[in-house]
Amino acid sequence: MTEPVSVQVHGRRALMVLPPLSGSFSGTRNVIISLIPRLSAIGWDVHTAELPHVPPPTNPAAVRAHVAASVASVQRSWADWRPDVVHVEYPDPAGAGVMQAARAAGIAVTGDFHHIHLHLPTAQRPRVLALVCQAFAVCDAVFTETLQGLGNLHGHGISQAVYLPRGVDGERFHPRYRDPAMRCTWGVQADEPVLLSFGRMIPIKRLDRFVIAAEALRHAVPSAQVVLIGEGSEEPMLRRLMPWAHFLGPMHGPALAAAVASCDVFAFPSPEEPFGISTLEAAAAGVAVVAARSGAAAEILGPDGSLLSDPDDPLGFIADVVALGRDPARRQAVATAARLRMADLSWEAIAARWSAVWQDILARRHS
């Protein structure tokens, strides 16, 4: 991906309609925090509106009332500040309602495809994917972070889908923040390997495979240490199975940058996580990545910038973790190749491409 030239915009307004952004490791929260300042630097006047949680579907009347109130609240904001573009981050019932209202008001509409169907039982996924794509039909463009998502959207008739990976803050995640003193607090000496997991501790991450890989690495290299950053529903299970691991909890800013860069191997076992931004952040920090062949690891890092195993081959994943843990030279080679792929993924580059899509929509509408 070649970094585009940022074209300044003048007098353009964008409203970003967001889901509840609670949660220390909300990927959406991190994307928005990173993207909005870069869009503002280009010249966009960006406002946000955060929608409340949708009631459970077991109460249809409450859902309908919630959608009506949410849409009305966003519409009221247009009376004093009419946007040129409304971007809806999640097409849940309220988000879909906002997209329809914006379209009816003659405002350009974009959405973001988040693979939310993958968080559901397999039998429910086709129906939910179809409903999501139905909601996107009113959009002028739909952003998707993966080539898999692009295929899903095109397969459901969303021809206006745009492939745009997530950005990586190369100043925040960088090998320069590697901290020998921090490694010492974990009991690390010299070049002993540190295995890392960071992000939300939830079922889709398949951290059960991480546990087995960590055990295998400790068997092969008894001095290896294991670090986990984050929180989530799987944390009690992980603490019970790995009482010897270092659980650092949720981290942010310089502390997170130092902790990630101070590790050696980042293991990302999930075959279903849609993108996996943490794989790119670890790679930017100079940490060698082992992952299932899916998402960002497969599409961006590739076989040179990571060790990739078949999604249905957990033993291959475990073997890759052990192989990198044993071989410092190979770790360095993989990490170096991965960092070379980060140059085109700065948030400035992603914001410039995002802005170009919005400007193209507006130009076509006024031509």
Do 226 and 154 belong together in one domain? no
Residues 28 and 75 in one domain: yes
* Residues 200 and 326 both lie in one domain: yes
- Segment 113-143, tens digit of pLDDT: 987 666 667 787 888 888 889 999 999 999 9
Residue 6 lies in a domain: no
Residue 23: what pLDDT? 46
Give the structural domain span for 79: 13-167+346-365
**Rounded mean pLDDT, 308-333:** 93
Could you tell me if 285 and 138 lie in one domain? no
- On whether the CB atoms of residues 223 and 328 are closer than 8 A, the answer is no
- pLDDT tens, residue by residue, 204-231: 899 999 999 999 999 999 999 999 999 9
Residues 184 and 157 in one domain: no
Question: Do 233 and 162 share a domain, yes or no?
Answer: no
Q: Which residue has the higher pLDDT, 115 or 96?
A: 96
The structural domain count of the chain equals 2
What percent of the chain has pLDDT above 90?
61
pLDDT at residue 64 greater than cutoff 70: yes
State yes or no: pLDDT of 190 exceeds 90.
no
DSSP state string for 231-298? --TTHHHHHHH-TTSEEEES--HHHHHHHHHT-SEEEE--SS-S--HHHHHHHHTT-EEEEESSHHII
Give the percent of the chain with pLDDT over 70. Answer: 95
Identify whether residues 338 and 353 lie together within a single domain: no
Paired residues of 45 in beta bridges: 13
> Tokens standing for 109?
């509409």
Q: Between residues 365 and 85, which one has the greater pLDDT?
A: 85
- Please state, in angstroms and rounded to a whole number, the distance separating the CA atoms of residues 351 and 40: 9
**pLDDT confidence band for 60 (50 / 70 / 90):** confident
The confidence score (pLDDT) of residue 27 equals: 65
Same domain, 79 and 190: no
Q: In sequence order, what E strands does the chain have? A: 13-18, 45-50, 85-88, 108-113, 141-144, 161-163, 194-198, 225-229, 246-249, 265-268, 288-292, 307-309
8 Å CB contact between 283 and 339: yes
Higher-pLDDT residue of 363, 10: 363
pLDDT at residue 119, rounded to an integer: 66
Number of C-beta neighbours around residue 355 at 10 A: 23
213 domain-assigned: yes
Specify if 141 maps to a domain: yes
Residue 8 forms part of a structural domain = no
Q: What is the pLDDT of residue 6?
A: 53
Mean pLDDT over each residue of the chain, to the nearest integer: 89
Higher-scoring residue by pLDDT: 39, 2: 39
pLDDT at position 120 is 61
pLDDT value for 26: 58
CATH number at residue 220: 3.40.50.2000
Please report whether residue 5 resides in a domain. no
- For 257-279, the pLDDT digits (tens) are 999 999 999 999 988 777 788 89
pLDDT of amino acid 153: 93
**pLDDT for res 2:** 43
pLDDT for 90: 86
Same domain, 80 and 148: yes
Residue 112's nearest CA partner among 168, 161, 67 is: 161
Q: Is there a domain that residue 200 lies in?
A: yes
Q: Which residue has the higher pLDDT, 190 or 357?
A: 357
Q: Which two tokens stand for residue 294?
A: 């899916």
* Whether residues 236 and 361 fall in one domain: no
Residue 223 resides in a domain: yes
Same domain, 39 and 115: yes
pLDDT band at residue 25, thresholds of 50, 70 and 90?
Answer: very low
What six digits make up the tokens of 107?
């405002």
Reported confidence tier of residue 4, pLDDT bands at 50, 70, 90: very low
Report yes or no on 316 lying in a domain: yes
285 and 272 share one domain: yes
Worst-scoring range by mean pLDDT, 29-33, 65-69, 194-198?
A: 29-33
